[in-house]
């Protein structure tokens, strides 16, 4: 990127949303593949399909329906992204994180990221939930490459604690109180769209990766850049390549998300109501 074009784009999409709603969310929630059913929990005030926002990236993947849902969960005003765009769809990474920057401009103070991911950690099985404790970003494009506007965030943001420690502690407590098993671990974003080879999974495992996917990290980085707190949960939709006998399929990802959905919904609702 050679200019500040993304800032103008951000202003434009912000104006476009503000023409339609003055809702001020406190929490932003991004729903991963197959986890869209969660949106039913929300006491909806307003829905906005991405296609109605001028200049907004629109997902091309089946099952990644794209809309913002504004409403309340308990007393918490929330904006939920049902569907996100991915780098592998061909969007510039600055477009992939545009919705995150938009939600920050709309007022969110906490970003809750969710995804479907392949599990690497010993003992994991499909359908498990994993609290993200940290990430590895080096295989994904960094969303902050390009000119930096210090009004948005610092040139060299600290990444010591991307996933807020206090929120992580609360999530672990709420999981325990609600009898919901919860793994913890390090998430790594690769570009996709291919799933990994068994050799790549052995490499990632040796690097300390517990779950692998194609999203989340670039979103977490851009939110932290803007000073927003971040937390994240992966739904382990399959064991990563080579760790189980079956080849990976998008349908399997969807089926495991369906199986985990009731636990996921309960945990995420409890956490958001407490934010
Ligand atoms: N690898 C990468 N992304 C994924 C996987 C996987 O095994 N499962 C769901 N998203």
pLDDT digits (tens, 9 = 90+) for 183-206: 999 999 999 999 999 999 999 999
Q: Is 195 in the pocket of ligand 1 (CB under 6 A)?
A: yes
Confidence of residue 1 (pLDDT cuts 50, 70, 90): very low
* pLDDT (tens digit per residue) in 17-72: 999 999 999 999 999 887 878 888 899 999 999 999 988 988 776 655 689 999 99
User: How far, in Å, is the centroid of ligand 1 from the Cα of 72?
Assistant: 31
Instruction: Report the pLDDT value the prediction gives residue 246, as an integer from 0 to 100.
Output: 79
The minimum-distance atom of ligand 1 relative to the CA of 214 is 3
Give DSSP secondary structure letters for the chain. --SSHHHHHHHHHHHHHHTT-----SEEEEE-TT-GGGGGGSEEEEEEEGGGSTT-----STT---EEEEEEETTEEEEEEES---GGGT--HHHHTHHHHHHHHHT-SEEEEEEEEEE-STT--TT-EEEEEEEE-TTS--TT-S---TTT--SS---TTSB-HHHHHHHHHHHHHTT---EEEEEEE---SSPPPHHHHHHHHHTT-SEEESSSHHHHHHHHHTT-EEEEEEEEEEEPTTSSSSPP-HHHHHHHHHHHHHHHHHHHHHHHHT-
* Domain boundaries of the chain, sorted by first residue: 3-274
Instruction: Report the pLDDT value the prediction gives residue 63, as an integer from 0 to 100.
Output: 55
* pLDDT (tens digit per residue) in 235-275: 999 999 999 887 777 787 788 888 898 999 999 999 999 98
To the question of domain 3-274 being in CATH 3.30.450.20, the answer is no
User: How far, in Å, is the centroid of ligand 1 from the Cα of 104?
Assistant: 27
Instruction: Report the pLDDT value the prediction gives residue 250, as an integer from 0 to 100.
Output: 77
Tell whether pTM > 0.85.
yes
Residue 75 pLDDT > 60: yes
Residue 207 pLDDT > 60: yes
Ligand 1 pocket: which of 34, 216, 248 to mutate (most atoms <8 Å of CB)?
248
Instruction: Report the pLDDT value the prediction gives residue 64, as an integer from 0 to 100.
Output: 57
Ligand 1 pocket: which of 114, 197, 213 to mutate (most atoms <8 Å of CB)?
213
Average pLDDT over residues 101-106: 97
Residue 95 pLDDT > 90: yes
Which of these ranges, 50-54, 74-78, 207-211, 223-227, has the smallest mean pLDDT? 50-54
Any idea which residues carry the catalytic annotation?
Answer: 33, 64, 86, 88-89, 116, 214-215, 238, 250
* pLDDT (tens digit per residue) in 133-178: 999 999 999 999 999 988 899 999 999 999 999 999 999 999 999 9
Q: Is 217 in the pocket of ligand 1 (CB under 6 A)?
A: no
Instruction: Report the pLDDT value the prediction gives residue 2, as an integer from 0 to 100.
Output: 42
Residue of higher predicted confidence among 1 and 16: 16
Average pLDDT over residues 75-103: 94
Q: Is 214 in the pocket of ligand 1 (CB under 6 A)?
A: yes
Angle subtended at Cα 65 by Cα 64 and Cα 68, rounded to the nearest 5 degrees: 115
Instruction: Report the pLDDT value the prediction gives residue 8, as an integer from 0 to 100.
Output: 87
């Amino acid at each position: 990127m050679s200019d500040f074009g993304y800032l103008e784009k951000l202003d434009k999409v912000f104006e476009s949303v503000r023409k339609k709603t003055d809702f001020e969310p406190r929490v932003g929630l991004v729903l991963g593949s197959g986890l869209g059913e969660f949106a039913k929990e929300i006491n909806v005030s307003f829905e906005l399909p991405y296609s109605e926002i001028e200049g907004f990236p629109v997902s091309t993947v089946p099952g990644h329906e794209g809309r913002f849902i504004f409403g309340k969960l308990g007393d918490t005003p929330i904006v939920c992204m049902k569907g996100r765009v991915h780098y592998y769809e061909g969007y510039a990474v600055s477009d992939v994180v545009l919705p995150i920057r938009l939600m920050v401009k709309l007022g969110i103070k906490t970003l809750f990221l969710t995804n479907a991911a392949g599990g690497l950690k010993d003992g994991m099985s499909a359908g498990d939930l994993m609290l993200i404790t940290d990430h590895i970003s080096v295989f994904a494009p960094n969303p902050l490459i390009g000119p930096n506007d210090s009004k948005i965030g610092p040139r060299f943001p600290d990444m010591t604690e991307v996933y807020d420690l206090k929120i992580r502690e609360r999530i672990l407590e709420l999981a325990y109180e609600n009898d919901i098993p919860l793994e913890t671990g390090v998430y790594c974003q690769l570009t996709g769209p291919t799933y990994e080879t068994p050799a790549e999974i052995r490499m990632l495992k040796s690097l300390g990766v517990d779950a692998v996917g194609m999203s989340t990290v670039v979103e977490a980085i851009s939110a932290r850049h803007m000073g927003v707190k971040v937390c994240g949960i992966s739904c382990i939709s399959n064991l990563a390549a080579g760790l189980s006998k079956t080849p990976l399929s998008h349908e399997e990802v969807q089926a495991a998300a369906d199986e985990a959905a009731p636990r996921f919904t309960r945990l995420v609702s409890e956490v958001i109501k407490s934010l």
